[in-house]
Structure 1
Amino acid sequence: MSQAGWYPDPGGQPGMYRYWTGSSWSASITNNPMQAPPSGGLGGLGGPQHPGQPQWSPSQQQQQPRRSPVGWWLGIAAIVLVIAVLGWFAIRNLGGILGTGPSAGSNPTQNVCPKQVASTITPAPAPNDGRVHGGALSYPRLDPPWGPPVPETRVPFGRDVLTQTVMVEPSYKGTKDSWVASVLVGELVAGDGFFSPQQGSEIVVKCIMGVFYDDAEVVRDDKVNKATTVDGKEAWLVETHLSFDIPNLKTKGELAIIMIVATSAASSSIFYASIPDTVPDLVPDARRAMAGLKVTS
């Protein structure tokens, strides 16, 4: 289809319609396909519309009772107050969003992560082409000291995940749990899949900070947070330094690289690398893998 408009939800929600921009599906859904396009026209970053929200025509708007001057002044005052409050919050959080300064963020609960849904589809065997395949992405296989690619089922935001790792601190909790450098690719799991790469990157970063560092406070300092492309597909890249202090762990920080790629109209794939500060010589490997990313069918 090429014409923009509301169409039966390809995500399978009965009685619901999703907006097609002419080139991609938006995040907005409704049960009223006659309503106006989503906020901003393209949906996506504007968030979902409320199903059944009434749409007022110009004639209907003219029939509304006229407000008294006092009501107008009270309304203007309320709007000014709301703008002032929103401006204060925006300035307060600007540093963390734009990467101009560190921001603390620890929430040791899996509630910040997407709900994992078991897949009934068995991924097709990856081709023996010297690349590591996961989801609809692949990267050139890294040589030792990186280990061989292995499936990873413990990533709360992904499935069909394949990863390579390097041991950094074995058994720092005694007989279990080791700290590793890792590079992985897989299918991104979050909601119904209809979100922008930028929204997907924030889902992943919040999940990483919430569950990967025990109960430690994690300070996030973004170095890169921008739109990009991979193999001609829309993507979003976040490179952030995460600082933490976990008992018995020598590593106190690491570089996290998150690339979310809109590999189809209704799904995204992820490239994720975490390189502890104690092994900076592995950073070029992670960047080389990211530079070699390809979208596969």
Structure 2
Amino acid sequence: MASPGWYPDPGGQPGLLRFWDGATWTSRTMPAAPTAPPPGVPTGPPPNRPPAAAPSSAPSSAPSFPPSLPPPSQPPASGRGRRLTLVLLAVLLVAGVGVGGFFGVRALTGDDEPAAGGGGTSESSEPTDEPTDQPTDEPTDEPTEEPTGSGGAPEPILDACQGAAPVTGATRPGQALRGGGLRVTTPPGYEPSAANEVFTFGDGVAAVGQQVEEFWLSLYALGSLPDIGYESPQQAAETVVECMVRSELFYSGFQDRTDLTSEPVSLAGAEGWRITTEIRVQDPRITVEGDHATVVVAPREDGSLSLFVSVVPIGDDTRIAQQEATLAELLD
């Protein structure tokens, strides 16, 4: 790289020197002092001679170079260029530290955004005890799969729904209905019925029935419940109702159950329990909504429980009144 100094004029004017400032030719000139070259030293331009410039009254910003002279190397960057480079490096360094710190903090705190297209949200999935104003399930008109009893009722013993011996009971035409140590007058229009076999949870069940529609029957039945360890007459009565609504022999297309009465009663001198409930079904073969059912149980001396069951159509006031009158024969 040629250093600043006086050099022969690049425009080719003989006996004229022009000043090279290290970056470009200037307009400063001076006559060259004639000197004789020492013996044995070839004449010619000094090493690293600055480039020749095209003839001009002013120095060119892009000098041309004769074929015999190599162009000078790029002059060193000015102080202003170095400062600009340092500023850019400082900005990049600060930006890098900021970005690295940002992702480092997120990695430590686990505050990651969900991946694009992942369908997630940034909200916490932890459960909360805070109440919600929105219902948790969509409303539906579909019938419930499981029967629903009254709130606070004891759990039924569903294993008791099968395995008893109901067909050992019998009723003769024109006679009172007897079973489980109980006796009632057979209601008018009711005849002995083989429907006692549907009482798979009872022993020695005697039943009388009356046809309401082709596929619907009103029934009265007396019998007993085997001693399987019921905790109370209420649990036994709840078990009987649940066994009925869960049985296809009783109800096809069970929809729901609405208890009207669930209370203690005195039956044949023993403390028992009564449940009166409306059992609704969805069955295209019938026109009735379902049954107005009454179940009463009371303990016996041998450990079993006396059982009274009556089912009449919902909304049939005449049969419902007859049901109450028949039950009144048993209650103290």
For Structure 1 versus Structure 2, the TM-score category normalised by the shorter chain is 0.5 to 0.7
Secondary structure at the aligned position of 1:97 is classed as coil
In the alignment, which of 191, 196, 208 is matched to residue 232 of structure 2?
196
Q: Which runs of 5+ in 2 are unaligned?
A: 1-147
Q: Is the 8 A contact 1:139 1:289 kept in 2?
A: yes
Structure with the bigger percentage of strand:
1
Shift in Å at residue 165 of structure 1? 1.1
**1:137 equivalent among 182, 187, 201:** 182
Match of 2:198 among 154, 159, 164: 154
SS in 1 for 2:310: strand
Deviation at 1:253, TM superposition (A): 2.2
Indicate the SS of the match to 1:273: strand
Distance 1:230 1:206 in 2: 22
Aligned to 1:96: 150
Instruction: Indicate yes or no: 2:267 matched with 1:213.
Output: no
Q: Based on CA coordinates, which of the two structures has the bigger radius of gyration?
A: 2
C-alpha separation in 2, matches of 1:180 and 1:226: 26
Evaluate the alpha carbon distance shift between residue 98 and residue 242 of structure 1 in structure 2; reply closer, same or farther with a 3 A threshold: farther
Could you tell me how far 1:273 is from its partner in structure 2?
A: 0.5
Which ranges of 4 or more aligned residues in structure 1 deviate by more than 6 Å?
Answer: 125-129
- Which of 166, 169, 180 is the matching residue for 2:213? 169
Counterpart check, 1:239 vs 2:283: no
Contact 1:140-1:293 within 8 A present in 2 as well: no
Q: Confirm whether residue 289 of structure 1 aligns to residue 313 of structure 2.
A: no
- How large is the RMSD of aligned CA atoms in angstroms? 3.4
The alignment of Structure 1 onto Structure 2 pairs a total of residues equal to 180
- Of the structure 1 ranges 277-286 and 224-233, higher mean CA displacement relative to structure 2 is found in 277-286
Structure 1 pair 220–131 and aligned structure 2 pair: CA distance change class (3 A) = same
CA distance in 1, matches of 2:213, 2:198: 19
Query: Secondary structure of the residue that 1:218 maps to in structure 2?
Result: strand
Rounded Cα–Cα distance in structure 2 between residues aligned with 1:179 and 1:126: 21
Q: Which amino acid aligns with 1:253?
A: G
- Decide whether aligned partners of structure 1 residues 294 and 139 sit closer, same or farther in structure 2, where only a CA change above 3 A counts: farther
1:224 aligns with 2:224: no
**1:193, 1:266 within 8 Å by CA — same for their partners in 2?**
no
CA contact (8 A) 1:98 1:225 kept: no
Which AA in structure 2 matches 1:287?
E
After TM superposition, the score normalised by the length of structure 1 is: 0.53
Secondary structure of the residue that 1:246 maps to in structure 2?
coil
Per the alignment, residue 161 of structure 2 pairs with: 114
Task: Report the identity percentage.
Answer: 23
Partner deviation per Cα, 1:170-219 (whole Å, 9 max, x = no partner): 1xxxxxxx311111111124x625542111011111111101222x2421
Q: Give the Å deviation of 1:142.
A: 1.7
The residue type paired with residue 134 of structure 1 is: G
Q: Which residue of 2 aligns with 1:179?
A: 216
The within-5 A match list for 1:258-273 is 258-273=295-310
Distance 2:184 2:317 in 1: 20
**Unpaired runs of at least 5, structure 1:** 1-93, 100-110, 171-177
Counterpart residue number, 1:103: none
Q: 2:286 is matched with which residue?
A: 249
TM-score w.r.t. the length of structure 2 is 0.47
The structural deviation recorded for 1:255 is 0.6
If asked which structure has higher relative contact order (CA below 8 Å, sep 6+), I would say: 1
Q: 1:249 to 1:127 in 2, by over 3 A?
A: closer
Once the two structures are TM-superposed, the CA of residue 95 in structure 1 deviates from its matched residue by 8.5
* Alignment-mate amino acid for residue 235 of structure 2: Q
